[in-house]
Amino acid sequence: MMKKKTILLGSVAIMFLAACALNSGVSSEQIGLRKASLENENKVALVDASFTALQPGESVLFERSFENAPPLISHTIEDMLPITKDNNTCLSCHDKAIATDVGATPLPA
């Protein structure tokens, strides 16, 4: 009885080790959604966003990179800094109550 258990255990161990040896793993090209090497960023296509010094209301909205991506600020915010919870100049145009009237994107969306 003990000999059968030893042979069975040995057989299971050999099959397990053989299965592990056959499975070579997943390459970095198979992991990501873009099917390219995750260590090489040369083939990544970035959004062609031209950040200019246009004032709010003069700029064109940038297309989002992917669904639910945060919006890119398409105008200068140089005179609006620092943005704090008590001093947020962005809300003077982007507040939900007035954003549609001035043609701005309401925030928070």
Query: For residue range 59-82, what is the model confidence (pLDDT) as tens digits?
Result: 777 777 788 887 777 777 777 888
Mean pLDDT of the chain: 77
Backbone angles phi, psi at 9, to 5 degrees: -65, -40
Q: Quick check: 80 and 90 in contact, CB under 8 A?
A: yes
Residue 36 falls inside a structural domain:
no
Report CA-CA distances (Å) from 73 to 1, 7, 65.
Answer: 75, 68, 13
Residue 69 falls inside a structural domain:
yes
pLDDT of residue 49: 60
Give the residue numbers spanning the domain of 92. Answer: 43-109
Structural domains counted in the chain: 1
Cα–chain center distance at 91? 26
Burial status of residue 76 (CB atoms within 10 A of its CB: 0-12, 13-18, 19 or more): middle
